[in-house]
């Protein structure tokens, strides 16, 4: 809004000049702000005095020009808000201090109006401008606070992520490790698990992330990294909608070994394509398969190469072989699981032995076939 134009502007100019005398208003305003908003006792006097002076000049400029700038242009609000946030002042306290200043300026306008021959209607228009300025200031301060809040949250998440990754990779100094233990309340003397996890296929990352960060009453500090969730937990999650791999139970200083195991378990567990919580104890020898591609290729050629000439029947032979191994090498159970007649299963297994020249009674062959089929089925 605009105030009514004056015939010569002299009356308004006189009022604004008297209002803008910093020396008359500075100390009383500083004292009133500290009295009404006690947290400002901890704000350095010079810092508070500078903001009082800025706001007084802002109010005088608005009254002189007869208009309030858009909230985005009220730079004084941005400067004061950022400075107070750094000093630990809450946004509601920042707003409260500004209201104290605006109320004092408005009282001063009312006091000066008769002396400057300002009519009641004109004084009301000036007061309305100051109220409008208060709204613009508050809008800008709220925007700065929101941006600051987001910035702080992002910085905090980044610091947390860097600390967790440093612990898992063993790149932190002793001092940095200790600071993180205190900051994130890590039970440094208790054994912890390193964890590595991700959702399955089109599963929700945030669901897995939240699940790991809320493992019952235990401690959990899990962060996102390279499309996975990694971190440290004090107890195993009961279940998961994604793939969760757990390392060995270790003290914080030995967490790199636990994380190395967790990443290897994770690589093997991903091949299963099934949700759950996986560990070395659960996957055993399967953990080594992703680390040995040459061996896997050799075994595929050794046991699947001879079946290529069988075309479609080769797939049936592989099916029979898989059932036979999964059912503890029991012919009846394997036949029922497919299902086929037991004689059909025996024929297919015998055909496999003839084509490959191996014996299913040979322990080495059973181990190699189990390795090869796990690798083959998880591709």
Give pLDDT tens digits for 211-224: 777 766 678 888 88
Chain centroid to CA 326: how far? 41
How far is C-alpha 371 from the geometric centre of its chain's CA atoms? 38
Average pLDDT of span 49-71: 91
Query: Do residues 33 and 101 make contact, with C-beta atoms less than 8 angstroms apart?
Result: yes
pLDDT digits (tens, 9 = 90+) for 144-200: 999 888 888 888 989 999 999 999 999 999 999 999 999 999 987 889 999 998 887
Instruction: List the 228-233 sheet strands across, edge first.
Output: 220-225, 228-233, 192-198, 243-250, 276-278
Q: Is the pLDDT of residue 6 over 50?
A: no
Domain with CATH 1.10.490 in the chain: 10-152
Helix (H) or strand (E) holding 232: strand 228-233
Q: Tens of pLDDT along 66-102?
A: 899 999 999 999 999 999 988 989 999 999 999 999 9
Start-end of CATH 1.10.10.2840 domains in the chain: 293-377
Superfamily of domain 293-377: PucR C-terminal helix-turn-helix domain (1.10.10.2840)
CATH 2.160.20 fits domain 10-152: no
């Amino acid at each position: 809004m605009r105030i009514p134009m004056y015939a010569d502007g002299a009356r308004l100019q006189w009022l604004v000049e008297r209002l803008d005398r910093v020396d008359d208003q500075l100390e009383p305003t500083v004292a009133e702000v500290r009295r009404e908003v006690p947290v400002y006792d901890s704000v350095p006097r010079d810092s508070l005095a500078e903001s009082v002076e800025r706001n007084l000049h802002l109010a005088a400029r608005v009254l002189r020009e007869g208009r309030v700038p858009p909230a985005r242009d009220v730079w004084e609000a941005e400067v004061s808000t950022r400075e107070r946030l750094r000093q630990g002042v809450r946004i509601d306290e920042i707003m409260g201090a500004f209201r104290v200043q605006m109320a004092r300026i408005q009282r001063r306008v009312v006091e000066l109006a008769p002396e400057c021959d300002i009519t009641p209607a004109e004084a009301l228009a000036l007061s309305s401008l100051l109220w409008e300025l208060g709204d613009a200031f508050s809008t800008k301060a709220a925007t700065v606070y929101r941006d600051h809040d987001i910035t702080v949250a992002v910085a905090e998440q980044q610091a947390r992520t860097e600390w967790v990754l440093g612990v898992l990779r063993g790149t932190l100094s002793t001092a940095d490790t200790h600071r993180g233990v205190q900051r994130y309340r890590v039970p440094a003397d208790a054994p912890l698990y390193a964890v590595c996890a991700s959702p399955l296929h089109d599963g929700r990352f945030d669901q897995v992330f939240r699940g790991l960060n809320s493992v019952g009453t235990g401690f959990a500090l899990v962060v996102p990294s390279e499309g996975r969730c990694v971190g440290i937990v004090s107890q195993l999650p009961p279940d998961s909608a994604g793939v969760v791999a757990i390392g060995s139970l270790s003290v914080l200083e030995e967490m790199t070994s636990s994380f190395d195991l967790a990443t290897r378990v994770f690589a093997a567990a991903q091949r299963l394509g099934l949700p759950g919580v996986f560990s070395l104890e659960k996957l055993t020898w399967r953990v080594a398969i992703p680390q040995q591609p040459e061996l896997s290729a050799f075994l595929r050629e050794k046991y699947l190469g001879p079946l290529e000439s069988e075309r479609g029947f080769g797939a049936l032979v592989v099916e029979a072989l898989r059932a036979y191994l999964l059912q503890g090498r029991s012919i009846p159970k394997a036949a029922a699981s497919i299902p086929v007649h037991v004689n059909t299963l025996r024929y297919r297994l015998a055909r496999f032995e003839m084509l490959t020249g191996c014996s299913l009674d040979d322990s080495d062959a059973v181990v190699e076939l189990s390795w090869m089929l796990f690798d083959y089925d998880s591709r």
